[in-house]
Amino acid sequence: MREIKLVIEYDGTNFVGWQTQQNGRSVQEEITKVLDQVLQEPISLIGAGRTDSGVHARAQVAGFRAKSALGVGSIHSALNGILPDDIYVRSVEEAPPGFHARFDAKERFYRYFIVLTPSAIGRMYHWYVKYDLNVDAMNAIARQILGDQDFESFCKYEAEVNHYRCTVTRSEWIQRGEELVYEIRANRFLHGMVRALVGTMVDVGRGYTPVEEFGAILQARDRRKAGMAAPPHGLFLEEVTY
């Protein structure tokens, strides 16, 4: 059996998320159907992370095992020739024996995009925030989550996890004119974690939640204490490192 690794870009607008579900179209299902067709065998495709409905990816990683001897170049061409336009496979390569896209990943890197003025063209790829935001206050909060922390306050209730600890190695807001970009890198992410963090930081930035309260929110281990989840369409999975 061969181990094959894919790097995938997708526009999440019209997907229910990465993972195959009964209630709509998923990225995993679309790619798996094409792989089954091209390789003429049933394929089990495993992704590095489960992006939510509406979330985008520039470099999602997925892996599968196959008996087929078809070359990686031919697999790559066939995938991009058949897949819909909102999925593009950036690369296909042989992976080491035993490769697991999820468990072998060392870090994931996300960006969240906010615009401070309305945009017709970018409306599905940014969150328009109408409030004046104190970016220094938001960065003060961003720095507080660096290191190994418990993020239960920023995890969806139904998440099935063994623990809520994540090690964050980058957390920063960058302002580029009327655009704000949040960059976060960690060894793992909980379900809904980035969107909950962004929503809470925006509450701090607009003065709704005092900076001094954030530590108590983090320590509470209670999702009800944190802010609303930011909309999914501003979030991009940028990179998975191994």
Does 159 score more than 70 pLDDT? no
Q: DSSP secondary-structure letter at 14?
A: G
Question: Can you tell me which residue has the tokens 């209630």?
Answer: 23
Three-state SS for 30? helix
Tell me the per-residue pLDDT of 107-140, one tens digit each, with 9 for 90 and over: 999 999 999 999 999 899 999 999 999 999 999 9
Q: What is the number of helices (H) and of strands (E) in the chain?
A: 5, 10
Three-state SS for 193? helix
Paired with 174 in beta bridges are 181
- CATH assignment of 2-94, among 3.30.870.10, 3.30.980.10, 3.30.70.580, 3.30.70.260: 3.30.70.580
Residue spans of the domains in the chain: they are 2-94, 107-241
CATH no. of 107-241? 3.30.70.660
Share of the chain above pLDDT 90, in %: 94
Q: For this structure, is 132 an active site residue?
A: no
**Spatial CA neighbour of 181 closest among 105, 124, 100, 235:** 235
Q: DSSP secondary-structure letter at 172?
A: E
What are the tokens at 81? 């020739």
Paired with 21 in beta bridges are 24
The domains spanning 2-94 and 107-241 adopt the same CATH topology: yes
Q: Which residue has the higher pLDDT, 240 or 22?
A: 240
d(CA 69, CA 63): 16
d(CA 120, CA 237): 23
d(CA 42, CA 37): 9
d(CA 5, CA 99): 8
For 51-68, what is the mean pLDDT? 97
Q: Which entry of 52, 85, 136, 222 is annotated as an active-site residue? A: 52
Distance of CA 5 to the CA centre of its chain: 18
Per the CB < 8 A criterion, the answer to whether 221 and 157 are in contact is: no
Does 158 score more than 80 pLDDT? no
Share of the chain above pLDDT 70, in %: 100
**Mean pLDDT over all residues of the chain?**
96
Tell me the per-residue pLDDT of 215-233, one tens digit each, with 9 for 90 and over: 999 999 999 999 999 999 9
User: What confidence score (pLDDT) does residue 160 get?
Assistant: 74
d(CA 62, CA 179): 31
Give pTM, 2 decimals.
0.95
